[in-house]
Amino acid sequence: MNTETDMPYPLVRCLTAADLNRVMDIEQSAYPFPWTRGIFADCLRVGYDCRGLQLGSLLVGYAVQTQFAAECHLLNLCIEPAWQRRRLGSLLLEQTILQARSGNCSSVFLEVRPSNRAGMALYRKRGFYVVGERSDYYRARQGRESAIIMRLDLDELPAERLHAVVRHDPF
């Protein structure tokens, strides 16, 4: 137990197909337009880096990323609503960055909805900056919404001090 936060100490581990029910529960509770189970299954099948954040025995979030040459693409980062605003998103983002660094990436890219205040604020806070926009990228309640493309340069980026136990095998 982390005495500062009164929470179990976070554990970051690889996701497996056995996590998909729980992942879908979180995904559907957190996003207005969630990914389908098939998308997650495909991400696992093709070997994207899929990691879960666990508190005790409970999975509370996950991140999906992939690497192409020296670029990491963060495809999904999500914390269950009941567990948001406790720095768990920051912690998982930091794991993504560490993973990208260990794969010798020089940058991390992602797309985010401009209406996603929490996401935009999280990424800006960690040093991501806007490099472009894709119009009509996402489904929206009325029509479509653009995607803001953000980038983080990893060279000389100072590491944050966010601690988790990290396992590279399934739990």
Ligand X SMILES: CC(C)(COP(=O)(O)OP(=O)(O)OC[C@H]1O[C@@H](n2cnc3c(N)ncnc32)[C@H](O)[C@@H]1OP(=O)(O)O)[C@@H](O)C(=O)NCCC(=O)NCCS
Kindly state whether residue 122 participates in binding ligand X, applying the rule CB under 6 A.
Answer: yes
CA distance 146 to 138: 6
What phi, psi does 5 have (nearest 5°)?
Answer: -110, -10
Q: What is the 3-state secondary structure (H, E, C) of 44-107?
A: HHCCCEEEEEEECCEEEEEEEEEEECCEEEEEEEEECHHHCCCCHHHHHHHHHHHHHHHCCCCE
Compute how many other C-beta atoms are within 10 angstroms of the C-beta atom of residue 115. Answer: 14
Q: Does 31 bind ligand X (CB under 6 A)?
A: yes
CB of 38 to ligand X, least distance (A): 19
Closest to ligand X by CB, 25 or 104: 25
Q: Which of residues 136-155 bind ligand X (CB under 6 A)?
A: none
88 part of the interface to ligand X, by CB under 6 A: yes
* Residue 41, H or E segment: helix 37-45
Which residue, 124 or 169, is less far from ligand X as judged by CB? 124
Q: How many residues bind ligand X (CB under 6 A)?
A: 21
Stretch that binds ligand X, among 35-43, 74-82, 97-105, 128-136 (CB under 6 A): 74-82
Cα angle: 76, vertex 85, 167; to 5 degrees = 55
| Choice from 39, 41, 121, 131 touching ligand X (CB under 6 A) | 121
Of positions 112, 147, 152, 154, contacts ligand X by CB under 6 A: 112
Whether the CA torsion 162, 164, 168, 170 is positive or negative: it is negative
- Whole-angstrom Cα distance, residue 156 to residue 39? 34
Q: Which is nearer to ligand X, 79 or 105 (CB)?
A: 79
Q: Candidates 12, 15, 60, 79: give the one binding ligand X (CB under 6 A).
A: 79
Binding residues for ligand X (CB under 6 A): 30-31, 77-79, 84-90, 110, 112, 116-119, 121-122, 125
